[in-house]
A and B are shown apart, each in its own frame.
Chain A
Amino acid sequence: MTIDKVLEIADMRAVYTQALVDAAEKNEKIVLLEADLMSATGTKPFFEKYPERAFNCGVAEGNMVGIAGGLSASGFIPFANTFTAFAARKTYDQFYITCNYALQNVKLVGSDPGITALYNGGTHMSFGDYGLMTTMPQLTVVEPSDRVSMYKLTQQLADMHGNCYLRIHRKGAETFYDASEEFEIGKGKVLRDGTDVTIITAGMVMVKEALKAHEILKESGISAAILDFHTIKPLDEELVLSYAEKTDAIVTFENAQRANGLGSAVASYLAESRPTKVTRLGIDDLFGEVGDLAYLQERYKLRAEDLVESVKKTLNK
């Protein structure tokens, strides 16, 4: 599919599936595994187009990820899908041993990141998955924020040898980038430049709120750079450092636990390389709960206004 057509797709899950179908057309090694969430992840088009390369493993996520490891050991490139909560919690050992420790090429994909599990509630919310996945040695962790980055990064992950955890937004979609924008795994993007403060964020809901905050702050005379860290690990240290130098104040904003997430990685890096004022916005030491997105954003302080308030506090304004 042409990238212009991708921009017309309604849901991020469908962009992901399209990227996978297109990648599979070029690369016959790409295979897909589901654990009874094909309907939720929206990968039916892949099952229809490549029935022999798609496996529904039933509600057995650990087995699914183990099978992915076996397929990878035979040269295939498996994408294994489930919700982020189950990817991080139910398959952790299988993903660790059979995939990561075994140096395979498995792409574990989790949808419904953080609060976007909405009405599935606390049992399905994966606040800790950034932390769990980034502590897995040598694992690449990616969360695209819009249609363009989802389409292009998914295909890049298929081409990249090595395991990865891809965290994807499921329903609804946004476009923050031009269709021609190019992405590099491990290299963050500057969505808005700024001189007073740098906001480092990732994922569709957070980037959208950060862009809103950028406009609100502008009205208050604050120039905020917005960096989209689509790759959580490896951290783009170069970009962190250059914006620490440039703005001397960083606010991180993530749809995940504040502990062990993107903000922690930024703060840890800067503490050792260039001590800089860092404020980490994210989910406190809390469990998830049910609600609509507006309620959950308010509950966990993940709205543009929470970010604005935090930026002002950070800058003593």
Chain B
Amino acid sequence: MIQDNEVKELQKKAFEIRKMTIDAIGHLGVGHIGGAMSIVEVLTLLYYKVLKNIDPKNPQKEGRDRVVLSKGHAGPSLYSILADKGYFPTEWLYTLNHGDTHLPSHCDMNRTPGIDMTTGSLGTGASAAIGMTLADTLKGFTDAYTYLIIGDGESQEGQIWEAAMFASMKKLGNLIAFTDYNKQQIDGYTQDIMSIDDLNSKWTGFGWHVQRVDGHDFRLLDRAIKNAQEIKERPSMIILDTIKSKGFCYGEGIVGNHNMSFDKAKAEEAIKILTQCQGE
């Protein structure tokens, strides 16, 4: 059971990561703020508590747990974490999407230290995560986990379900996936564009162990991951009920918050409001 003080620390860290992400996107003036903000808690929990054998000084360390951010457009919040962890200098965050940057909008394993898989074309990360899980089995890294994060809009891709079928058939217990179910995609609400409901039943039907939790609640998230780790013969899906653009006030609750333009002043204002909401 996660301790209260740990939860407080994680909440504080998530707050910092949100500020860094808003700041970085605001510095450029445009970016995929919505889906980056909705996964801050799960990324924070993974990188500051869950992942084993990771080393910022040796990003390619053999036998490490890995993260595949299949919704690669959410890279900016992951970059904030990787910078904070020391994979690369924090100043790099201000180079987001600049020419010749190490930090492109979509995750790139060859450009960014700490990124485990190149993603961006939706659906592709799911299969790649399976390949990594198989590789760990072949290499005898039986304790290594691959954590896969997909989007709800991304779940409309056929490749997700091809991968779902394969992973359960091969009993990939070391594959733990998350759906960032923030209920929104580029053109509107998933419910209106292309409903993915009933998501629980879909994954259960595909043979996965399924849990559904509030994706912004560290206690519930932590317990869900622990539960998933106990399931050895099946891959796990943890559906995260999240809020798109969570913590960036100008994006929360509106349509069109997938990719937003906002300048430094607006970013500063958003950070100020976020700070007030956090009670800091």
Contacts and interface: CB of A to CB of B under 8 A. Distances in A.
Interface of A: 31, 52-53, 55, 57-58, 60, 62-76, 78, 93-94, 96-98, 101-103
Interface stretch (B20-28, B127-135, B238-246, B272-280): B127-135
B98 to A, nearest CB: 19
Q: 4 closest A-B pairs (Cβ-Cβ)? A: A70-B131, A66-B127, A74-B135, A63-B162
B48 interface: no
Contact of B128 (A58, A60, A98): A98
Contacts of A74: 131-132, 135-136, 139
Contacts of A76: 135, 138
A179 B127 CA distance: 40
Nearest to A57: B166
A55 to B, nearest CB: 7
Given A57-B166, A62-B123, 15 more contacts: A55-B134, A57-B162, A63-B159, A64-B127, A66-B124, A66-B127, A66-B128, A69-B127, A70-B129, A73-B132, A73-B135, A76-B135, A94-B121, A96-B121, A102-B108
A73 B138 CA distance: 13
A68 B131 contact: yes
B121 A73 contact: no
A66 B120 contact: no
Contacts of B108: 102
Interface in B104-127: 108-110, 116-121, 123-124, 126-127
Q: Choose among A53, A64, A68, A101 the residue with the greatest number of B CB atoms under 10 Å from its CB.
A: A101
Nearest to B117: A73
A70 B138 contact: no
Given A57-B166, A58-B166, A94 B127 contact: yes
Q: Choose among A57, A60, A63, A93 the residue with the greatest number of B CB atoms under 10 Å from its CB.
A: A63
Contact of A103 (B110, B129, B159, B169): B110
Contacts of A58: 165-166, 169
A70 B134 contact: yes
Given A31-B138, A63-B163, A102 B118 contact: yes
A78 B136 CA distance: 15
Contacts of A72: 131
Contacts of B116: 73
Contact of A63 (B68, B110, B127, B135): B127
Contacts of A57: 162, 166
6 contacts: A63-B166, A66-B159, A70-B132, A74-B135, A93-B121, A98-B128
A124 B15 CA distance: 54
Contacts of B163: 63, 66
A94 B159 CA distance: 9
Contacts of A65: 127
Contacts of A60: 162, 165-166
Interface string B135-173: 110110000000000000000001100110110011000
Contacts of A96: 121
Interface in B162-191: 162-163, 165-166, 169-170
B118 A101 contact: yes
Contacts of A64: 127
B117 A67 contact: no
Q: Choose among B118, B124, B135, B163 the residue with the greatest number of A CB atoms under 10 Å from its CB.
A: B124
B135 A66 contact: no
B142 to A, nearest CB: 14
B135 A71 contact: yes
A201 B135 CA distance: 39
Q: Choose among B109, B133, B134, B170 the residue with the greatest number of A CB atoms under 10 Å from its CB.
A: B134
Nearest to B137: A52
Q: Choose among B119, B123, B127, B169 the residue with the greatest number of A CB atoms under 10 Å from its CB.
A: B127
A53 B158 CA distance: 26
Contact of A97 (B121, B131, B132): B121
Contact of B120 (A62, A71, A73, A97): A97
Contacts of A68: 131
Contacts of A31: 138
Given A53-B138, A66-B159, A73 B128 contact: yes
B135 A62 contact: no
A72 B135 CA distance: 9
B131 A66 contact: yes
B207 to A, nearest CB: 14
B126 A52 contact: no
B166 A97 contact: no
Contact of B127 (A52, A98, A101, A103): A98
Nearest to A96: B121
A296 B133 CA distance: 44
A78 B127 CA distance: 14
A103 B117 CA distance: 11
A32 to B, nearest CB: 12
Q: Choose among A69, A72, A96 the residue with the greatest number of B CB atoms under 10 Å from its CB.
A: A69
B138 A52 contact: yes
